[in-house]
Structure 1
Amino acid sequence: MTNRASDTVIVIRGRGRVSALGLGADWNAPASPFSTHAAGLPVAALPAEAEDAVAALRQAHSAYRQLDRTVLLAMLAARLAVASCRLSVGSTSSDNNVATDNWQLAADNLAVSIGSSRGATGRLEEFHAAFMMEGRVPAAASPLTTLGNVASWVAFDAGQTGAAALSHSSTCSSAFQALGNAVAWLRAGMADRFLAGGTEAPLTAFTLAQMRAIGIYSPFTAAPWPCRPGAGRPSTFVLGEGAAVFVLERGSRAALQAAGESALLLDGVGFGFEGLGSKTGLSADGQHFQQAMRTALQQAGTAPADIDAVVLHSPGTPAGDAAERVALRAVFGEQLPLLLSNKWLLGHTLGASAALSLDFALHVLQTQTWPTPPFVTDVNGPGTLPVRRVLVNAAGFGGNAASVVVSMGM
């Protein structure tokens, strides 16, 4: 049975985001948000406002001072998501101080599901560097660098007791693995509410060197928009950091209709895999994209013709961009929906990228607006129809892909 035929719906009650554009839901960027890393490469790092919020959160609890930046970004995005849906309790000050407030969800049957490609990147590298110099590490090294500590600290900060805290890693589709798990649990009645999303803080010299070694990094400097998805050659991959977390609830379609309430709905989640010998490559026709999109559409009970826009994975690599577009034509035909992207604003945030793309899709659904890139590309052109249903793609190393379908429903 498809989701469309069922009374049960997954409602996106709140969303929070931290990225190179700062905090909140504004997707406009009058100037390039990219900066130059000490390694000499352009990156999409957090601006001062967001850095201040991360610093304040680190000082909000004695245990938080030792946490990796990836964990703190997830916690901050979760607090923003809670604040946005007004489900918080125990707040002692204004929304502007969400990093230091006691923002918590009603914890009854609340679960947490967070994706990250690399987890505690910064702390792991710090501990390893110290070990190479001193031959020993502190006892905290292992618990602070396991992937599971990402979701567990978000759960702790949210006041969760007695429910699941799940961390996922499938490279750049990690956040959609987390959302897919949350949707399954909600539909099965194993939780009533989820905090789900993705997070990544990979802007270290070592991680940048890895991306550069693959041969995909952008040759452009930070000022002139160095990440250019859909623009062709040269490859313009740029690394970014950030997180996005969503408050998901199991709801009733009939109840929404009876109340005349419009809501953002997560209609379908689909996954794809192609077993290639190269773990950094993909097939020319994007077979894993095709599988993921078709499965998400089927689960949503939605025909390709009902999709008004697609938020692409499109990282700015010529081969990756081209394969996704071949896959789109295989699913949608030659008349493609509106193609959208946010990576020209945020760079590629690895395990957080799918969640940030979903946040962008929800912004489009709610406002019917999106920013236009200042370079020649096939993304973010003008739309001719209202955008009511959006498909979002993500893919990663290892041959995996994931897609979600979201809509504004009642």
Structure 2
Amino acid sequence: MKAPQQHIIIKGHGAISPLGHDASTVAAAYASGVPAFKTILHQGIATPVAALTQEAEQQLNSLLDSNPSYKQLDRSVLMAVYAARQASMAAGWLTEDASVADDLGVNIGSSRGATGLFEQHFEDFQHKQLSSSASPTTTLGNLSSWVAHAVNAGGAQISHSITCSTALMALANGVAWLRAGMAKRFLVGGTEAPLTDFTIAQMKAVGIYSKLSGHPFPCQPYALEKQNTFTLGEGAAVFAIEQSDSLQPGDVLVEAVGMGFEKLVSKTGISAEGINFQKSMRHALSQLSPEDQTVHLIITHTPGTRAGDKAELAAIEAVFGAATPVAITTNKWLIGHTLGASGALSMDYAIHILKQQQYTSPTYAHVLTPQNHKAIKRIMVNAAGFGGNASSVIIALA
């Protein structure tokens, strides 16, 4: 007898971002198409950023007040805990008085980690007032361990960074553990709280930060006007995944996870042809049967940089062809680049699109040609990071 096909199902998801703090607020923000940027003074210079909404900030403060131990944690950890609890509740996994679940693993990543606490503790160090909590609360490992505490997860606890591909790499790892039979359930995702003086300064030092402060669209992927418009945002998204041999209508499946890498040719690690993207997209597509390789929409990485955006679009054309261009969109023109959380927030957007069957296109002048499908059933999500790596995930609606 043929063994039943095993599917990776997203049982629940949670997010907190400049768009909102739950499915309804995020859906409303996407429907409005209003960017979530504001202008701050960074080292005396007007600088655009995308920060949490006031309502989302209140939700995060309520979480902070719910546990005295949370007051020592970095903002990135708190956002991960918030999103993970939301995903766990949606999946029906979170029971407050339940014993620790040894079959539930956690893999949460971040590009920069505890940026806020690092800067605070370093300032304390300069004044010879360093706290004993400095090391345990800034280690990258505390991301997944605090999430595990919050959701009663007793399985593997993995924290990692592969820069801006981090969240999709976490998903890939969770999928691998499930398929290997090393876990029955996994929470995967990414979080980032990069709106700090030093982190913003690092991005400006690369020479890609947007100078469009006060503009309604400071971050402009695919823009006709050739300029760098990289803009930082913050947020987190987490997904509850498990393996099943049966499907229900409306289930969201992780069909494929592809990886790509190219040797460094620049400080950001991407070639003009987007070789890493070509590899990751082809790797993902190779995991599908020929009849299932129709991708209806690609949510691109495109952070609003001249070189990066152009390279990814070139890679898409190389993989999918120019004769029948695939539909393309992104959410970075609304929330900026959230670094290690960006792939997770793109995944959250993809689930929203699959459920709502619509997406909002940028309203500034851009190079994309509108492509409409009667039904959006399969979406590819791309991410890439410093160092030459890229990831592509394909999710579909059952």
1:181 aligns with 173
C-alpha displacement of 1:262: 3.4
2:5 aligns with 7
Letter in 2 for 1:210: Q
2:14 to 9, 13, 16: 16
5+ residue gaps, structure 1: 91-101
Letter in 2 for 1:18: I
Letter in 1 for 2:126: M
2:315 to 327, 336, 339: 327
**Aligned residues of 1:88 and 1:105 also touching (Cα < 8 A):** no
Matches of 2:358 and 2:62, distance apart in 1? 32
**Aligned residues of 2:35 and 2:335 also touching (Cα < 8 A):** no
**Aligned residues of 1:89 and 1:106 also touching (Cα < 8 A):** no
Q: Is 2:336 the partner of 1:347?
A: yes
1:119 to 113, 124, 142: 113
Letter in 1 for 2:36: P
C-alpha displacement of 1:6: 6.9
Cα RMSD over matched residues? 1.9
**Aligned residues of 1:304 and 1:331 also touching (Cα < 8 A):** no
Q: Is 2:211 the partner of 1:219?
A: yes
1:373 to 347, 362, 366: 362
Matched residue SS, 1:152: helix
Once the two structures are superposed, residues 351-378 of structure 1 have per-residue CA deviations (whole angstroms, 9 ceiling, x without a partner) of: 0000000111111111111123221224
Within-5 A mapping of 1:23-62:
23-25=21-23, 26=27, 27-29=30-32, 31-39=34-42, 40-62=46-68
Matches of 2:146 and 2:349, distance apart in 1? 25
Q: Percentage identity across aligned positions? A: 48
Once the two structures are superposed, residues 3-28 of structure 1 have per-residue CA deviations (whole angstroms, 9 ceiling, x without a partner) of: xx970110001111111011123123
Matched residue SS, 2:287: helix
2:372 aligns with 383
C-alpha displacement of 1:105: 9.7
C-alpha displacement of 1:301: 3.4
Deviates more, 1:31-40 or 1:261-270: 31-40
5+ residue gaps, structure 2: none
**Aligned residues of 2:166 and 2:340 also touching (Cα < 8 A):** yes
**Aligned residues of 1:34 and 1:223 also touching (Cα < 8 A):** no
Matches of 1:153 and 1:330, distance apart in 2? 42
2:397 aligns with 408
Matched residue SS, 1:355: helix
Once the two structures are superposed, residues 23-47 of structure 1 have per-residue CA deviations (whole angstroms, 9 ceiling, x without a partner) of: 1231234533111123121000001
**Aligned residues of 1:235 and 1:318 also touching (Cα < 8 A):** yes
**Aligned residues of 2:107 and 2:188 also touching (Cα < 8 A):** yes
2:92 to 74, 86, 89: 86
CA 30–361 in structure 1, closer or farther in 2 if over 3 Å, else same: closer
CA 403–72 in structure 1, closer or farther in 2 if over 3 Å, else same: same
C-alpha displacement of 1:201: 0.2
Within-5 A mapping of 1:96-245:
107-134=101-128, 136-161=129-154, 163-232=155-224, 233-245=226-238
